[in-house]
């Protein structure tokens, strides 16, 4: 092998690491220096190691994270664009992203085939290109095989079953981040998605949530988001994976707080939609936002110790309440609930083309917890929203039943 053939190999295979079988045959032997001498755009350094010292040389720096994206709905697809581009920018990551698609037929063809052929999710995010290094797959096991980073972005009702399917299939050293806006409940309280995933798969889980209406971010309009971490190193790695010029990432050591805000703001959005349907104007909507924000904070503090006050003033907190009460799907469908008198299930089916509401389920889930604890009176807005949505209370009660 000549110096030129080694260079060609590096370029052809985009190698970040070159392993030499014999100690005597090393990078100097080829006149390549002890580390990277080629100014290639895709790696900052190329690591030359010999087989004999490969294990000691394989530091965190040169073991690249393989990213699997679990989900490909409206937000999942925007995220595939962001992380697909970012893994190409940083040497910490392997350059392919495998994306799990819950397979379905679109125009008689498999959605995975359409995504891989057109590099576009024609059903959940039509009109926006997906980077070519994002590979859509219908088989969950194949998506997570070898992955060291799992990004969960599916509606919260599908998380338990998806985790069941993942048991025993993932890399035990993997780490995850949940972009899911929802939680699990039972009579005793709530279980954040990060805990549900972590307990099911025995891996650490961070969270990401913010004022993030997917289509606006697909357009690359400026927005912010918040990552909640337990371990700073993981928080910083995830920031690298997600941040772009138009998608600014703040990090805070409050995994639970970040994601609970993301779940509960959907309840407030339903209240805001009722106000819009009733045409009560902006003052009334601002009042619902204020009271909703207060109940959200009370609820979180009651059910979880350790949530930081600062979290409520990050993108995941007040900013997401505002964004979702003006531009989200929960708001839109709640408005139609008032103006058409149809049920939420019917409207979801008719208006969202397969996309899922998270707020209606969360309204039911928190009502169950509040009822079992006998504390509905402490959460008058949340309780009224439940009763309008599911017990036939007139929508105008939204402003009559609150103090």
- 358 lines the binding site for ligand NAD (CB under 6 A): yes
Q: What ranges in 278-379 are assigned the alpha helix state H?
A: 281-303, 320-327, 329-340, 344-352, 359-373
- 180 lines the binding site for ligand NAD (CB under 6 A): yes
Q: What is the DSSP letter of 359?
A: H
Q: What's the rounded Cα separation, in Å, for the pair 24 and 19?
A: 12
CA dihedral 165, 170, 172, 177 (to 10 degrees): -90
Binding range to ligand NAD, per CB under 6 A, among 31-39, 44-52, 174-182, 267-275: 174-182
Q: Which of 111, 328, 363, 384 binds ligand G3P (CB under 6 A)?
A: 328
135 labelled binding-site residue: no
Copy the structure tokens of residue 160: 């338990």
Is residue 98 part of the annotated active site? The answer reads: no
> Binding partner of residue 384 among ligand G3P, ligand NAD, none, CB under 5 to 8 Å per kind?
none
Looking only at residues 343 through 362 of this chain, which bind ligand G3P when binding is defined by CB under 6 A?
358
Binding mask 197-216 for ligand NAD (x = CB under 6 A): ---------------xxx--
DSSP annotation string for 222-286: -EEEEEE-SSHHHHHHHHHHH--SSEEEEEES-HHHHHHHHHHHHHHHHHHHHHHHTT-HHHHHH
Q: Is the CB of residue 84 less than 8 Å from the CB of residue 97?
A: yes
> Binding partner of residue 154 among ligand G3P, ligand NAD, none, CB under 5 to 8 Å per kind?
ligand NAD
Give the Å distances, CA to CA, from 310 to 115, 269, 304, 306: 40, 22, 15, 11
| Cβ count near 236 (within 10 Å) | 14
Please return the burial class of 5, using the count of CB atoms within 10 Å of its CB with bins 0-12, 13-18 and 19+.
exposed
100 labelled binding-site residue: no
Q: Which of 234, 295, 320, 365 binds ligand G3P (CB under 6 A)?
A: 320
- 314 lines the binding site for ligand G3P (CB under 6 A): no
Q: How far is the CB of 396 from ligand NAD (least distance, A)?
A: 28
Q: Is the CB of residue 397 less than 8 Å from the CB of residue 388?
A: yes
Looking only at residues 240 through 279 of this chain, which bind ligand G3P when binding is defined by CB under 6 A?
266, 269
Catalytic residue among 265, 285, 297, 336: 265
Which residue number, 181 or 297, has a Cβ lying nearer to ligand G3P?
Answer: 181
Binding-site entries for NAD(+): 71-76, 102, 158, 214, 329, 356, 358
Residues in contact with ligand NAD by CB under 6 A are 71-76, 102, 124, 153-156, 158, 162, 179-182, 212-214, 354-356, 358
Q: Which positions are annotated as active-site residues?
A: 265
């Amino acid at each position: 092998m000549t110096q030129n053939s080694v260079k060609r190999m590096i370029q052809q295979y985009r190698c970040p690491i070159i392993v030499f079988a014999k100690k005597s045959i090393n990078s100097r032997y080829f006149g390549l220096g002890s580390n990277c001498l080629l100014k290639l755009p895709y790696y900052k350094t190329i690591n030359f190691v010999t087989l004999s010292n490969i294990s000691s040389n394989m530091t965190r720096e040169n073991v690249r994270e393989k990213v699997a994206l679990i989900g490909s709905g409206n937000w999942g697809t925007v995220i595939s664009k962001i992380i697909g581009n970012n893994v190409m920018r940083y040497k910490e990551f392997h350059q392919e992203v495998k994306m799990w698609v819950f397979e379905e037929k679109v125009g008689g063809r498999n959605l995975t085939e359409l995504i891989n052929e057109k590099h576009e999710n024609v059903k959940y995010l039509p009109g926006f290109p997906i980077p070519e290094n994002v590979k859509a797959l219908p088989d969950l096991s194949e998506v997570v095989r070898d992955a060291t980073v799992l990004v969960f972005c599916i509606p919260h009702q599908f998380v338990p079953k998806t985790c069941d399917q993942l048991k025993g299939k993932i890399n035990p050293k993997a780490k995850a981040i949940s972009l899911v806006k929802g939680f699990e409940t039972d009579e005793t309280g709530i279980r954040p998605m990060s805990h549900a995933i972590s307990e099911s798969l025995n891996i650490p889980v961070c969270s990401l949530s913010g004022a993030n209406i997917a289509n606006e971010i697909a357009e690359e309009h400026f927005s912010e988001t918040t990552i909640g971490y337990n371990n700073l190193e993981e928080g910083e790695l995830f920031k690298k994976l997600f941040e772009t010029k138009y998608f600014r990432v703040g990090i805070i050591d409050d995994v639970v707080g970040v994601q609970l805000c993301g779940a509960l703001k959907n309840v407030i959005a339903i209240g805001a939609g009722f106000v819009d349907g009733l045409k009560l104007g902006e003052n009334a909507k601002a009042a619902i936002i204020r009271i909703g924000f207060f109940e959200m904070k009370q609820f979180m503090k009651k059910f979880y110790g350790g949530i930081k006050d600062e979290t409520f003033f990050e993108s995941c907190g007040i900013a997401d309440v505002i964004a979702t009460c003006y531009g989200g799907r929960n708001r839109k469908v709640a408005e139609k609930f008032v103006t058409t008198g149809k049920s939420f299930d019917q409207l979801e089916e008719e208006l969202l083309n397969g996309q899922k509401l998270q707020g209606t389920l969360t309204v039911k889930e928190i009502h169950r917890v509040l009822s079992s604890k006998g504390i509905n009176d402490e959460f008058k807005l949340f309780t009224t929203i439940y009763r309008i949505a599911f017990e036939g209370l007139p929508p105008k009660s939204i402003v009559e039943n609150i103090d």
